[in-house]
Amino acid sequence: MTEPAALPAAPSPAAPADPGAFKRHFARCLAEHGRFSHAAHLHLAWLLLEEGPALAALAQFDAGLRALADASGQPEKYNATLTTAYFFLLLERRQAGQSWETFAEQHADLLDWEQRQNFLGAFYDEDTLRSEAARRHFLMPRCPDAGP
């Protein structure tokens, strides 16, 4: 009996194209925004999406933000649920060929941290978003009609 031929390995959709991309883009966003604000976080995610597939960009974004929070001695600042939810909100609104500047102008509401309840309130209550579980790993959103 012969063994079936091995299939060639497919490139991983989550394999980062450039391991230094997070640090490079973080420095750029910090310089352009003056501080690492909510808008700067989303700009960084945008830049990572420009360089590779969404899952690879999310993996870099997640790992980079976790490392940054740990290095600053504030690991509690990282929130996996907020990071992932906003990443996918950005991805949903992003259009091919659109510049960051155009996106930021057209979606200023998404870049305004104070409006987070407008985006996430139907899916998460504030206690859930502040929870240790939400900080540690992504929590699935609830169905908007399901209640708390």
Segment 77-125, tens digit of pLDDT: 999 999 999 999 999 999 988 999 999 999 999 998 888 888 898 899 9
Segment 7-38, tens digit of pLDDT: 444 344 444 457 678 788 788 777 777 888 89
Instruction: Give the predicted TM-score (pTM) of the model.
Output: 0.80
**Domain range annotation of the chain:** 21-136
Please, where are the H alpha helices in 72-142? 80-93, 100-106, 108-111, 116-120, 126-130, 132-136
Q: Phi, psi at residue 27, to the nearest 5°?
A: -60, -40
